[in-house]
Amino acid sequence: MTPQIQASDFPALWAQYINENNLKGVVDLYNDSFVLLPTFSPHIVITVEKLNDYFVRLASRDGLVVELHTKNVRCQQTGEQTYVVTGVYSFKFEIDETLLTFPSRFTFVLDLAQDKPILHHHSSQVPRNLS
């Protein structure tokens, strides 16, 4: 069950669960009919089994940390208890003993009337500038 939280604070809760390696907490945020477009997979995730698999693989990365760029978080109320929350976070983890950073954009579609509020989550790495 999700603690009472403001929509604009939701990305920080999600990142906290990742940083604490609380995979059950993360997975429990996703509604039964969720859609996840993950950062580090080309596949759309729509089952709890695949959601668990994705976060287990992500959590296996040495030194995994998610840093939320709080000044970039935007929150739009779309209904009585529904919101679209967007922003930027960075994933950091080691590959071959080198700490790498992956700045990424996110969109959460939330229904805060639900115990499992994430209806849709899209996360993608920030593209490199073409100039």
Sign of CA dihedral 16, 127, 45, 110: positive
Q: Structure pTM?
A: 0.92
Cα-to-chain-centroid distance, residue 78: 20
Domain boundary assignment for the chain: 7-125
Say which CATH class 7-125 falls into. alpha beta
Q: What percent of the chain has pLDDT over 70?
A: 96
What backbone phi and psi angles, to 5 degrees, belong to 44?
A: -75, 135
Q: Tell me the per-residue pLDDT of 35-50, one tens digit each, with 9 for 90 and over.
A: 999 999 999 999 999 9
Which of 114, 111, 93, 110 shows the shortest CA–CA distance to 102?
Answer: 93
Q: Is the pLDDT at 2 greater than 60, yes or no?
A: no
Which of 82, 91, 89, 90 shows the shortest CA–CA distance to 120?
Answer: 82
Confidence of residue 131 (pLDDT cuts 50, 70, 90): low
CA distance 92 to 110: 25
